[in-house]
Amino acid sequence: MTDDQANSRIEQDRQLILEAKQKGVGAKLKAYTILSGPGWLQSAITLGGGSLAGGLYLGILSGYHLMWLQPVAMIMGVIMLSAIGYVALSTKERPFASINTHINPVLGWGWAIATLMANLIWCMPQFALGTAALQQNLAPEIFANDDNGKIMAVAALFIIAGIVIWFYDSGGWGIKLFEAILKILVGIVVLCFFGVVAKMSFSTNDLDWGKILAGYIPNFSLFSNPSPEFSDVLSQAGAYADYWKNLIVGKQQKVMITAAATAVGINMTFLLPYSMRAKGWDKDFRGLAAFDLSTGLFVPFVLATSCVVIAAASQFHAKPAAGLLGEKNAEGQVVQADPGLLKQYHKLLDQRLKKEQASDADWEKIKENPTVLDQKRAEIPLAERTLAAMLVNRDAFQLAAALKPLAGKTVSQLVFGMGVVAMAISTIIILMLINGFVLCEMLGVEPKGTVHRLGCYLPAITGAVGSFFWKGDAKAWLAVPTSMFGMVLLPIAYATFFFMMNSPQILGEHMPKGGKRIAWNLAMGISTLLATFGCFWSIKSSDYPLAGFCTLAAFIGLAILVHFMRKPSESTSTVQDT
């Protein structure tokens, strides 16, 4: 598409909006629906392995009690995305250049580098999840559950994502086709998970809709206490009740961080302004941008993640995994446990047994003798073994298997598998796209051509290769540590956008005034504080909290130092708007 053709298309879109505004609300909403796009790109990335893992483990650990968490996190994200969208559409500078020039180059480069790192890391759980769905649910006869099948599945995901990305770099028609493909994938995700819950609702009475709806009312007690459904079995755990309580709370906290971090990740904050600018939007499109985020991002996200939480909670919350406690089926046969879950179960019991030993040497002696170890495990009281069986990390594919008696084989395996694959591949595609934008900005070149495509393929390579190194028994759990890492980076973006919305050098006459400015600052301030709280909580819950806090302190110190050393007009950005 030539520049003249692109300008003509933009002006046609602008005229459509202006005319629709004169005709009334109905015409305006119709025009906005036709022109929407960047919001659906945001949905394509947020409805990925992280959101699936967040919803899955929220349901497993907390039942319906944290239904509110992901919608609230998304509201925070929409506020901050709206802010950066407002800035991007009100000025002629690219956000990266604006931050470096008018705010602080440490924040600008921190935003870009953090986004790049998040893209490279976050792609791993997407490939792991998509590969497992192809092997276990969607096409096990094609992608065998072995190394060759995994290589074929990873290659299929890589090729599909690469072809779709190629469309985007083809210009105007490619962008439209790209957005159409992403809308279809997001639609598949929502319809698949919604269909599973709808089927469950009609085929069983197990869904307590009163409790489900009550779960949307914020309840902060689970920040420091286990879900109430664990109370009875915890009360029977004797001297080790506090041990199991702390274990449950620790897992809950990690999953809550995951759910919040994957609602809106730092890489999403980089995508939105550049996807809007790629479409040629400016200040006349600010209303469309807000509508786009609400319909294309918030609604699909809440529907899909809520359905995952409901399905997981109904099947797994405070329920021991089948076969771990030696139970028998209706025919009197001992239920066979899933090997991966059995391995996790033994690990949880072994961690508990280690607490009994006087020294590490005593524990090593027990471990060296399998017969003694099995005997020690069997001697652990039933209540504690039941807790361990409740806390194993079930996977999305065990959820699909558990839903089979309720929803049927087609819905539980084929439809559920389609939803998971659509989640994974749409997120892989968007992570690739974002990385192309980031690399171009960091190198100071236009976001197109060879450099953009090179940037796009980097996370696909790290994701494809990295997925082979994940040896955990639950593929979805890989999204938990990667999402905790993402939460640490998120306040960098949120604080930066807060400063941008209050910078007269950036917004000039477009800076909100009066009540609007108060409302913006209040909403952004709350979102930034909550993200910062999540950042500290994530570092505190990590394996290396001291290193995390020292790195964060060094970054803040460097930003303060540069702020006072540089001149206000100084610019470190080489990218100029064209």
The pLDDT of residue 225: 92
The lowest-confidence range among 189-203, 380-394, 409-423, 471-485 is: 471-485
pLDDT tens for 124-135 read: 878 888 888 888
What would the DSSP string read from start to end of 74-89?
A: HHHHHHHHHHHHHHHH
Is 80 exceeded by the pLDDT of residue 408?
A: no
* Dist. CA 504–CA 325, nearest whole Å: 65
Give the mean model confidence (pLDDT) for residues 202-223.
84
Q: Are 40 and 175 spatial neighbours (Cβ–Cβ below 8 Å)?
A: no
- The H-or-E segment that residue 555 falls in is helix 545-565
Give the mean model confidence (pLDDT) for residues 384-392.
94
Give the mean model confidence (pLDDT) for residues 16-26.
84
pLDDT tens for 136-149 read: 777 787 888 788 88
Q: What is the 3-state secondary structure (H, E, C) of 8-75?
A: HHHHHHHHHHHHHHHHCHHHHHHHHHHHCCHHHHHHHHHCCHHHHHHHHHHHHHHCCCCCCHHHHHHH
Q: Are 157 and 424 spatial neighbours (Cβ–Cβ below 8 Å)?
A: yes
Is 80 exceeded by the pLDDT of residue 361?
A: yes
Is 80 exceeded by the pLDDT of residue 77?
A: yes
pLDDT classification of 570: cutoffs 50, 70, 90: very low
Does residue 477 or residue 9 have the better pLDDT?
Answer: 9
Nearest to 121 by CA among 482, 575, 522, 560: 482
| Amino acid (1-letter code) at residue 168 | Y
pLDDT tens for 250-285 read: 888 888 887 777 777 777 778 788 778 777 788 888
Give the mean model confidence (pLDDT) for residues 225-248.
93
**Crossing angle of the two packed helices 416-443 and 38-46, in degrees rounded to 10:** 120
The pLDDT of residue 5: 58
Is 90 exceeded by the pLDDT of residue 576?
A: no
Q: Are 176 and 447 spatial neighbours (Cβ–Cβ below 8 Å)?
A: no
Q: What percent of the chain has pLDDT over 90?
A: 19
- HSE-CB of 489 using CA atoms within 13 angstroms: 27
Give the mean model confidence (pLDDT) for residues 211-238.
91
The pLDDT of residue 246: 93
The pLDDT of residue 28: 85
The pLDDT of residue 185: 74
Is 50 exceeded by the pLDDT of residue 7?
A: yes
Q: How far lies 321's CA from each of 230, 341, 385, 390, 399, in Å? A: 15, 8, 11, 6, 11
E runs forming strands in 404-451: none
Q: Are 492 and 110 spatial neighbours (Cβ–Cβ below 8 Å)?
A: yes
pLDDT classification of 170: cutoffs 50, 70, 90: low
* Dist. CA 491–CA 301, nearest whole Å: 21
The pLDDT of residue 236: 93
Q: Are 412 and 197 spatial neighbours (Cβ–Cβ below 8 Å)?
A: no
The pLDDT of residue 65: 94
The pLDDT of residue 390: 94
Tell me the H-state helices in 138-237: 147-168, 172-203, 209-214, 231-235
pLDDT classification of 382: cutoffs 50, 70, 90: very high
Give the mean model confidence (pLDDT) for residues 412-420.
73
Calculated CA dihedral for residues 468, 470, 475, 480, nearest 10 degrees: -130
Q: Are 211 and 64 spatial neighbours (Cβ–Cβ below 8 Å)?
A: yes
Q: Is the dihedral of CA 160, 165, 169, 172 positive or negative?
A: positive
Give the mean model confidence (pLDDT) for residues 106-115.
87
300, two tokens: 């699909």
Q: What percent of the chain has pLDDT over 70?
A: 88
Give the mean model confidence (pLDDT) for residues 306-334.
86
The pLDDT of residue 578: 36
Is 90 exceeded by the pLDDT of residue 245?
A: yes
Average pLDDT of the chain to the nearest whole number: 82
Is 90 exceeded by the pLDDT of residue 387?
A: yes
The pLDDT of residue 26: 84
Cβ partners under 8 Å of residue 399, min gap 6 = 56, 311, 312, 315, 316, 416
Give the mean model confidence (pLDDT) for residues 226-242.
93
pLDDT classification of 22: cutoffs 50, 70, 90: confident
Q: Report the range out of 469-473, 523-527, 573-577 with the highest average pLDDT.
A: 523-527
Q: What are the domain boundaries of the chain? A: 37-321+394-565, 339-391
Is 90 exceeded by the pLDDT of residue 426?
A: no
The pLDDT of residue 572: 38
- HSE-CB of 468 using CA atoms within 13 angstroms: 15
Q: How far lies 22's CA from each of 9, 25, 35, in Å? A: 20, 9, 17
Q: How far lies 532's CA from each of 84, 146, 226, 277, in Å? A: 18, 42, 24, 29
Does residue 484 or residue 333 have the better pLDDT?
Answer: 333
Q: What is the CATH number of domain 37-321+394-565?
A: 1.10.4160
Query: Is this structure's pTM higher than 0.75?
Result: yes
Burial letters for 13-42: b for 16+ Cβ neighbours within 10 Å, e otherwise? Answer: bbebbeebeeeeeeebeebbeebbbbbbbb
Give the mean model confidence (pLDDT) for residues 470-477.
51
Does residue 280 or residue 344 have the better pLDDT?
Answer: 344
Is residue 75 exposed (0-12), middle (13-18) or buried (19+ Cβ within 10 Å)?
middle
Classify residue 280 as left (phi > 0), alpha (psi -120 to 50) or beta: left
The lowest-confidence range among 295-299, 300-304, 307-311, 329-333 is: 329-333
The pLDDT of residue 237: 92
Does residue 166 or residue 154 have the better pLDDT?
Answer: 154
The pLDDT of residue 169: 66
99, two tokens: 């931050």
SS3 573: coil
Calculated CA dihedral for residues 456, 457, 463, 464, nearest 10 degrees: 150
The pLDDT of residue 400: 66
